[in-house]
Structure 1
């Protein structure tokens, strides 16, 4: 097989998503997901050259799961050049993808309190993979790294300076790998040089964020110190009055943990609808007359439109708006409703093109004579592989 092979690992608290990426192939040799790790029902399913495969993992932890998965990857790859790890939070210390040295791993550990749902399981995957393949270069690709180009006036909170200088409390932003890939792919699709292009990017999935990207660099984004800030999401509230937390404590006796659980796991689309965090379910319910589902959709779209409009302040000009992520790439109704709230921008959809851009098909969905709007399918695994190879090549 020509071209170098990179294994991409995205480790969650009870799951491991993985892909074997060859630099000369558009498709992935292997891509799969291990689920319910740490339970008797642990299993992994994957596609290998288009063929579906399945393996029970028993009561495997992360290390044991990877030990069972990696021989299949190795057999398909023949030779691995390196392993790229998705890491959510690198704090202010990490500005780009880098070799996972003990010092960098220490940074990930130090920032675990800022991403308690992401960094600890990410470390499990990193340590397990390093123990299995100590001879390979292991590269960390950080969600926060892309946003390190934000100016200070965009990333600082209006709180006393010592909280920033002594405790690094600031806005970091997330989904950076996706925003980087999509903004660069969008420029390519539009025939514009990356270094002379200005985009609003909406990454919409169970987690959602929007970013203003100027000449290939993040200038502002909606997520902040943690992935809770910003847009309405599947189970996350997004922006709320900070005094809400004090009110919940004083009035209802909520602890800090109670508030965190409420705002991260019981709010968002799920909280408003009382039905589901899945946009497909809500759209179907709304079409059948469910008023709470309809309201959840309206709040989601309005808040998204308002945030995109605000992010335009970071742009010297607007070359276009890019939708990506599971919702952004497939929910035609959400794209339409969002643009309907942005009338001052003169956006207008080509309804036929909007309906066609689903299930992995990207392209222009705006009407002629109006500002450009495109659907750009994200490919975080490809971006992680690209950045991993760049580090290995010393670029």
Structure 2
């Protein structure tokens, strides 16, 4: 029987093929086809396609009853032009795998090859290839899909590669692993007037200035505080480039980050009320729209302990982080619905950062991801 090291070369080739052919959120049709054809070599006991869009579920069943454990990776790439010149660079001019989802898919495919050769002793292992993580819509579409609802996993796990951390280091965190993140669009409607007679109109400029200043006061950048929050102004628009006209409408967009879903709920209400107060003060009509919402990954203590124990058995270098990552990851929805946890896999201290045009997933960490996922599944079904 071929072992993981022998299969590693083909996994790396597959990862590079995925890297070369990236697709945007919700449009991962060819990526999904590539995953399905990969599974022809390692047939699962059950397979579903088109889950929540382009998503795929593959299930490897154990001989005995036991827990169902889900491992998830992401299918989508980003609208970023790649600046690397290596052979597997993106063939698409403005799309590339700058978050390492190509590597995450390769890890899950590696786990599939392990499970094919060595079926779980007990329980089921469910592999989920999820669409549209980058825009925060994929987890929700999968969770609401009837084909997914039948599976009812006992535990859910995901990893994310982490540039800036030692290669193959496992980064764990009790409680919140990554922040709740969502974006707020505020549209203000006033009344156009001649620029010589602004008093005859209602110009939203001062309201926008006030919103920016008031929102800025809500920043709490100390990550050790439970009310940690970052409010980032993203985009502002006001009026038209017509110098004889006093603006009659404008909009301002923010991205907001909090440590917990509860804190996000509390702050969101505050910001809505604040916007209403300011709009009323300046006699403006207003509309608020929330978009690109990511739940915080709130790690379940048991699930997190399985990660730590499995890492220890494999002799991996584990780092326990004190504060959450401030980026969002839509796996947070799964940790709301099921007992689960997310962990980090070090991608190298000198690796370019995620979402940078010259980033590339390091192939040397694939086998660590595969082994750790596999060990977690064994731990859980040995524990029960």
TM-score (norm 1): 0.28
- Larger % of strand: which? 2
TM-score between the two structures when normalised by the length of structure 2: 0.28
Higher helix content, 1 or 2: 1
Higher RCO, 1 vs 2 (CA within 8 Å, ≥6 residues apart): 2
Give the greater-gyration-radius structure (CA). 2
